[in-house]
Chains A and B, each alone.
Chain A
Amino acid sequence: MASLTIQNVIKRYGTIEILKGINIDIDDGEFLVLVGPSGCGKSTLLNMIAGLDTISDGTIAIDGRRVNELHPKDRDIAMVFQSYALYPNMSVEQNIGFGLEMRGVPKEARAKAIADVARLLQMEHLLKRKPSQLSGGQRQRVAMGRALVRDPKVFLFDEPLSNLDAKLRVEMRTEIKKLHQRLKSTIVYVTHDQIEAMTLATRIAVMRAGELQQLGTPREIYDRPANTFVAGFMGSPPMNLIKAKVVDHDGGPHAAIDRLQDGEIVLPLPANDGLRGAAGRDIILGLRPENITDPQGAVGGAGPVLETDCLIEVTEPTGPDLIAVVEMGGKEVLARLRPDAEARAGQRSRLVFDMGKAVVFDAGTEARIA
């Protein structure tokens, strides 16, 4: 268990910068999730922490000790690969014990460590099998066992659940979270699945095109996204990003939004320093689908609320919710209603806009201003 410091880390291939100066600092026992679309550099960063890829510039330190020049085996890390990377010629037992064997751990101590991990992961009955005789979930478990048995300072997970089917993925997700709560180990976890990021992380680093977009707790990332990219990437369905103009109305800032069918709508914005004197400014209003709902489903928040009739274009029942699509600012806007809300496609329905959690982005820079 240890802290991890990533300071101004740059990765270059030739003249192309894959990572453009990443700064991340996490404490002992944190669960850091690196999330972003493919090609954002999250796996490269993980490989650099592991020592499988060289660091062009900057520093990576584990427990305050610079590891840039250290061989992977000397960094005291363990990694779970997306492909599991189990050695096909060895039994589960040998797979788990290989790292210990390479480190010269005596046979009895090894056997005990393997037995402990097998018990922890409930796979004692699998120890003699070969990886080819295991199911996907079992392989995943062995891969985790191989990492756990070494008791390293930092665990690295590279999209460990992406090869599993949906049901198993949810199960394993919970299991990983339980393990983290129990072992209190420092974990760096790469995924492109924002739900995994939200559920597992104590801190999320959202990356895009080699740049860190935001580093924060899941709550911060979800409620206060740093820019429209983070807002659109995290959350499912994603945050509505609506073109609007700031107007002064009733003595406070409001967002005026054009609508094709129902005319202009003026939504109250939360009082915020970022909006002082912003009247006339073009903005992008960020509003999560759950903050647009039917009157019965609305829970009174702290912020301003507006109730109005909207033309419903499409309804999509998902089971727990009814997603209603309305048009605002020339874009489809999703509202999350109760499943039995009375909303019909093609008809007007009353919607409540809970503006307490609305966020405001600058229309040009797309960075959050309020």
Chain B
Amino acid sequence: MAAVTDAALMVPGPRSGLSVALRWLLFAILGLFALIYLFPLFVMIVTSLKTLDEVRAGNLLSLPPNPTLEPWISAWSTTCVGLTCEGLKGYFLNSILMTVPAVAISAVLGALNGYVLTKWRFKGDGIVFALILFGCFIPFQIVLLPMARTLGLLGLASSTPGLIFVHVVYGLCFTTLFFRNYYAAFPNDLVKSAMIDGAGFFRIFWRILLPNSIPIIVVTVIWQFTNIWNDFLFGVSFAGGGGAMPVTVALNNIVNSSTGVKEYNVHMAAAIIAALPTLVVYVLAGRYFVRGLMAGAVKG
């Protein structure tokens, strides 16, 4: 009996020549695509470690003969963004001060929305959800003018709270979608049981739902963090000149500055610095990202 099962489950013993060849072809194609995707990053890294002279003299792909961190230090603390020459660090901080609260607030509100839309159903909840879902498809450009006016009226123009507000409003549609779909598959019996146990609306949310939502929280945080950190349009529109300018806008201003020589090595270092946080978040939580997306999609 065991032998039969084993034989049935195992791949046929000796591989034919053709299947081996096909396998190698597959690996070769995959490898090639991996190289294509890694190529820009490679160029950025080697360039950021060269001096400007080496960049001008050498080949784009050549390794730095004398690796130097000078461009990185310059990008971080001395290069000019517009008229001030203090590097990216201030803007990096701006981005953190904007992204972290915006991610947190939009995630919490999205979770609450999802909780209400699935566990405290009310008349017309389907329409409400459809409208929120519709928000996911509104292009950024459409809201620019009304949002600028709104921020002006609220007294939040060109400020970090203003940007947080914009990103929360815009991100809410997505976070609501994520949490609603996750909670739709969340057993109602747990909520009923908690109700009988005497827990109220927020206690059930806080003690029962949230602790069991780690996968979808990770998905939401990665999604929101990446989008908000990488956002350029809202940043340039609502905080383009002010002290709240996020790092993406600052990076643009460094690279597009029309005065002086083009410091490619500094630009590359600055670009990597600006991209680093999303990369770190993805590497740390990426495993959950895939798992979480699946958890939301397939019940159980």
Contacts and interface: CB of A to CB of B under 8 A. Distances in A.
B208 A73 contact: no
A102 B187 contact: no
A89 B196 contact: no
A9 B174 CA distance: 43
Contacts of B196: 50-52, 72-73, 77-79, 99
Contact of B197 (A52, A88, A98): A98
Q: Is the interface of A mostly helix, strand, loop or mixed?
A: loop
Best-surrounded residue of A78, A88, A98 (most CB of chain B within 10 A): A98
B199 interface: yes
A107 B98 CA distance: 41
Interface in B188-207: 189-190, 192-199, 203, 207
Interface in B129-147: none
A99 B187 contact: no
A78 B195 CA distance: 10
Contacts of A103: 198
A156 to B, nearest CB: 9
A83 B187 contact: yes
Given A88-B212, A89-B211, A81 B189 contact: yes
Contact of B193 (A71, A81, A89): A81
B198 to A, nearest CB: 4
Contacts of B189: 81-85
A87 B190 contact: yes
A84 B190 CA distance: 9
Contacts of B190: 85, 87
Interface in B177-193: 187, 189-190, 192-193
Nearest to A75: B196
A73 B212 contact: no
Contacts of B194: 87, 98
Given A83-B187, A102-B203, A89 B212 contact: yes
A81 B208 CA distance: 16
A58 B192 CA distance: 23
Interface residue tally of chain A, by bracket?
Answer: 20 to 34
A52 B192 contact: yes
Interface string A87-114: 1110000000011001100000000000
A42 B195 CA distance: 21
A73 B198 contact: yes
Given A99-B198, A102-B198, A79 B212 contact: no
B153 to A, nearest CB: 42
Contacts of A146: 193, 197
A81 B197 contact: no
B208 A52 contact: no
Contacts of B187: 83, 85
A52 B207 CA distance: 20
A196 to B, nearest CB: 20
Interface in A41-88: 50-52, 71-73, 77-79, 81-85, 87-88
Contacts of A79: 192-193, 196
Contact of A72 (B195, B203, B212): B195
A73 B192 contact: no
Nearest to A147: B196
Contacts of A98: 194, 197, 199, 207
Best-surrounded residue of B187, B189, B194, B197 (most CB of chain A within 10 A): B197
Given A89-B211, A102-B203, A73 B193 contact: no
Given A52-B192, A81-B189, A85-B192, A99 B212 contact: no
Contacts of A77: 196
B208 to A, nearest CB: 6
Nearest to A74: B198
A72 B195 CA distance: 7
A102 B193 CA distance: 12
Contacts of A51: 196
A83 B188 CA distance: 10
B192 A81 contact: yes
Contacts of B199: 73, 98, 102
B211 A73 contact: no
Interface of A: 50-52, 71-73, 77-79, 81-85, 87-89, 98-99, 102-103, 146
16 contacts: A50-B196, A52-B196, A72-B195, A73-B195, A73-B197, A78-B196, A79-B192, A81-B192, A83-B187, A85-B187, A85-B193, A87-B208, A88-B212, A89-B212, A99-B198, A103-B198
Given A72-B195, A89-B211, 12 more contacts: A51-B196, A71-B195, A72-B196, A81-B192, A83-B187, A83-B189, A85-B187, A87-B190, A87-B193, A89-B208, A99-B197, A103-B198
The list of the 3 closest CB pairs from A to B, nearest first, reads A102-B198, A99-B197, A85-B189
